[in-house]
Amino acid sequence: MGRTTVSLSGWELDNPVIPASGTFGYGQEFSELYDINCLGSFSFKGTTLHPRFGNPTPRIAECPAGLINSVGLQNPGVDHVLAVELPRLARFYKKKVIANVGGFSVEEYAEACRRLDASEQVGILEVNVSCPNVDHGGMSFGVSPEAAAQVTRAVKAVTKKPVYIKLSPNVTDIVPIAKACQEAGADGLSLINTLLGMRIDLRQRKPVIANRMGGYSGEGIYPVALRMVWQVYEAVKIPIIGMGGVSTAAEVIEMMLAGATAVQVGTASLIDPWACQKIVEELPQVMEQYRIESLQEIIGGAHHG
């Protein structure tokens, strides 16, 4: 293995830097700015079984240390992704991607994942359990160990590719949910998703976002994400993809020392479209600064220091 190479469930990545779902589309726009093959991989836009228009506008609210979004999983649906987006992607991206999947019932998750599982371009299925369970009062699948495990089992039953469950931080304790996913057969975990937040327009005296609340992301949530990656690493034996407010190469390494095997970068790319490219380029220098020979060897290293 090379100095920056890491392995996710047997899939070798040139480096651990992965643009996060919802911040990189299906890759085309960023490919016009730089050669995105420099990335370890990327997690494409959250995709559901059926096309979704998403939530009403406005959907975005700025914050001092990040932003709040309530896009509502706007996407063209899994069949369009397989027929149009992935063939287009193959023209400019030569690596496998992470397929981020949303759903509003266990059956929707399973069927969308089953269809994506057949694509050779997909390396990992990343299942976002922060979606509301419409069959049980709208509570997010990700806030219940039982519901998260149910989705995990259903997806594993119809797929062969590694399945990573993307966990919500909007819970009292993320560890029982992580353990439940592992026991249900998850190959890995992604964490954290966005925190719930809101802003109020002082002039109009009403919430900025039409949906009132949305997902808070950006630099402000980094310490929370790091803490949760640390906790989950100590509780499970499966790989973790860490994310949440990461914006520098040093933070990628910090997240790996906490227990992440790979690291996703989200809001930083919305602020600076070249953020991920810069992090990849800076990694070797930061490794040299801290006398790191191999990134694979530092995973969870802070637990033993």
Say which of 113, 131, 181, 276 is annotated catalytic. 131
Q: Are 43 and 19 in contact (CB under 8 A)?
A: yes
Q: Identify whether 38 is a catalytic site residue.
A: no
Look up residue 155 and give its amino acid.
Answer: V
Catalytic amino acids? Answer: 131
